[in-house]
Amino acid sequence: MTTARKTIRFPVPAAPPPPQIVDVWSRTQPKYRRRAVLFLLLTAALFAGLGSFAYWLRSGVVFAPAMRGYWAAWWRAFNPAGEEQVNLTDLLVYPIHLEQVPMQIVVVGLLLASLISVPILVAILYRFPLSLLFTGIVAFVAMMPWLAVCGSAGCLIASWRRIAFRYASATIGLLPMVAYFVVASQDGSRLAPPTTPADKVTLYYPWLIALIGSAVTMGLTLLIARLVNYRPGAIAPVLAVMFAVPWVIFETQVGRDELYYRLLERAYAPDSRFFEEGPAEEAIERAMRRELRRDSDPTRNRHALRQNILLYMTFQLEADQHLGVLAQRVHEVFEQCGRFREEFSHSRYIPNVLYIQGMALDTRVDVNRFRQEAYIDYYHDFPSHVSYDAWAAVLSNFPQSPVATVAAVHTAKLLVRDSRVDQAIEALQRFARPAGQDSSSPPRPAGQRPGWREMLDKKPAEATLNIPLRAVVSEGRRLLDLLVNNRDTRYGDAPLADLFALDPRSTHYASNLEDLLGRYPGSALEDNLLLASALTPRSAATRIARLRELLLDARLNDARPAAIYDLARVLEEDYQPAEAQELYRQVMEAHPLSPWADDAKAAVERLTQMAARR
């Protein structure tokens, strides 16, 4: 009897399902891992370049970690209680102001779009820990630590696996960045606060561009990653484009010369902090405390000590004009301006740089005011011969620039000092004209709005120099009137040359004028010398008395309108506006063609408005 054997079949275990591809690391094959590491390093290198570009736009420094004092600068940017945090509004006004270069709005917007979107994409495609490498670049290379903190929070949110729709998680990851934009823009700018509601609205345009650009960048990158089934390399091409676009726009529409000029202007322009003015009381007090520590005599006269220190500092300032700190600062300005002219010889800012250089070379300390008021003040209206080349370069190469008017006045003073009066008159006749006369573009008709192209164009190069053009033109016209009406057949141009060799702020100016009156009796310039002498007393009452006396002097000739105007000006300073206004009107009516008539008209309008407000 045969028995059939039963075949026992054991169930074959099912093959494990393939791993779900959700990011770059889901592929475990060595070639994909090597590619992932390679593309991650490439992306990090591109992003580091982007961070360097972001810091360079703010400082002109190519690579922040390599600069001297890096950690101190980083802490100032991070310190919550400090005043030097990276204010987002400051990015738009310093060093390049969006009002002067509107295309900077696009550059900053696209740059921020890359800085906030790439770490979020890395958190999604390469996982959260590796995104910290990119937020670290934002913090330590771009020198924007608080943007990096918010970016890290966004990366953590975006890498949350419970959100299946990747673009939604990326968009939610932008929420900390939105909060950062709002908070970091609340205080406005410490450097140039917006003046109108329209200015405040304009400051939000870059943040709008940044958020829209981030959304587009993340959507495009995630789409590419999906199409290649999360193989490595989806971020690098998009990042390369996002890096290239703002850089190309900056190079073609803004320019490196724009950045370096703005840095130079802010550091060395006549109204910059480089030539810091102000009371010297703090320095005097420090010197007194230092001296009292050396000498513990309690009976020492503090007033006498203060006077001795003030006298010592006065002598020091007089020497400083040529040998001390001021001379070193002027030399630094000269070197920096020369470096800019060499590197950007075709820049539209060359006349501005020559202006900064010329004004620095003409800078002097008002020692007389320091002696009287213990106040450090600088002036530029008594030019130095070392500035002649700078002003001559402006007149020769940039005659249409408004800077040429300043150059004409300074050059004319130097030419008269060298007895070249004819050349001085020629320079003033060419350039000392009313403001706006040389404008190359016709005014826009009333009611016509500028087009988009005009709105995006750069503003005039000299717009931020704060040149008091009306005052310079007025000075040029007065100077021209003085030269034309005081050519002397007896003494030649010697009286004019000697007068222009005198510094009106010198302690010896009054006695030097008396010497000129004795040296050139009966000269054509005599009445102008008498007027200058009448204006030398410090007391307003004394000046008023001497000017009234001068107006009765028979020797008063071409200086009469100037004497009437100066009397009105001193009366206004002495709080006698009614009589001052009457004298201003006298200048307008009796001397309508004189260079003082326009200034008198402006003074009458100002006094009328002041009276109406009372």
Q: What DSSP line would sit under 150-199, residue for residue?
A: HHHHHHHHHT-TT---HHHHHHHTTHHHHHHHHHHTTT--SSS---SHHH
Does pLDDT of 497 surpass 50?
Answer: yes
In terms of pLDDT, which residue wins out, 315 or 607? 607
In terms of pLDDT, which residue wins out, 432 or 88? 88
- Residue 201, helix vs strand vs coil: helix
pLDDT at 296: 63
Does pLDDT of 417 surpass 70?
Answer: yes
pLDDT at 31: 80
Confidence of residue 224 (pLDDT cuts 50, 70, 90): confident
CB of 134 within 8 A of CB of 122? yes
Which residue, 388, 398, 397, 390, is CA-closest to 424? 388
Which residue, 368, 267, 266, 272, is CA-closest to 317? 368
* Cα distances (Å, whole numbers) of residue 161 to 156, 172, 235, 286, 602: 10, 13, 20, 63, 72
Confidence of residue 552 (pLDDT cuts 50, 70, 90): very high
Confidence of residue 544 (pLDDT cuts 50, 70, 90): very high
Highest mean pLDDT among 156-165, 178-187, 305-314, 549-558: 549-558
Average pLDDT for 184-207:
63
DSSP element (H, E) containing 364: strand 364-365
In terms of pLDDT, which residue wins out, 555 or 29? 555
DSSP element (H, E) containing 376: strand 375-376
**Cis peptide bond N-terminal to 95, omega within 30:** yes
pLDDT at 282: 66
Q: Give the number of other CB atoms < 10 A from CB of residue 2.
A: 4
**Residue 236: both structure tokens together:** 């690098």
Least confident interval from 109-123, 324-338, 500-514: 324-338
Confidence of residue 336 (pLDDT cuts 50, 70, 90): very high
Q: Write the burial class of residue 191 (CB in 10 Å: 0-12 exposed, 13-18 middle, 19+ buried).
A: middle
Share of the chain above pLDDT 90, in %: 46
Does pLDDT of 194 surpass 60?
Answer: no
**Residue 525: both structure tokens together:** 């310039």
In terms of pLDDT, which residue wins out, 193 or 366? 366
Q: Which domains does the chain have, with CATH numbers?
A: 30-254 (no CATH), 256-378 (no CATH), 537-613 (1.25.40.10)
pLDDT at 520: 94
Please state, rounded to an integer, the average pLDDT across all residues of the chain. Answer: 83
Average pLDDT for 486-493:
91
pLDDT at 370: 73
pLDDT at 12: 55
In terms of pLDDT, which residue wins out, 337 or 316? 337
pLDDT at 168: 83
What's the CA gap between 295 and 543, in Å, rounded? 44
What's the CA gap between 24 and 28, in Å, rounded? 9
Q: Give helix 145-158 / helix 128-140 axis angle, nearest 10°.
A: 170
pLDDT at 283: 66
The Cα diameter of the chain in Å comes to 163
Does pLDDT of 315 surpass 80?
Answer: no
- pLDDT for 316-331, tens place per residue? 665 555 556 678 888 8
In terms of pLDDT, which residue wins out, 486 or 183? 486
Highest mean pLDDT among 5-9, 18-22, 283-287, 463-467: 463-467
Does pLDDT of 148 surpass 60?
Answer: yes
What's the CA gap between 251 and 248, in Å, rounded? 5
In terms of pLDDT, which residue wins out, 6 or 567? 567
In terms of pLDDT, which residue wins out, 443 or 416? 416
Q: Write the burial class of residue 231 (CB in 10 Å: 0-12 exposed, 13-18 middle, 19+ buried).
A: middle
Does pLDDT of 391 surpass 50?
Answer: yes
- Residue 488, helix vs strand vs coil: strand
- pLDDT for 435-481, tens place per residue? 344 444 444 444 445 555 556 677 888 888 889 889 999 999 999 99
Backbone angles phi, psi at 58, to 5 degrees: -95, -20
pLDDT at 447: 47
pLDDT at 610: 86
pLDDT at 611: 81
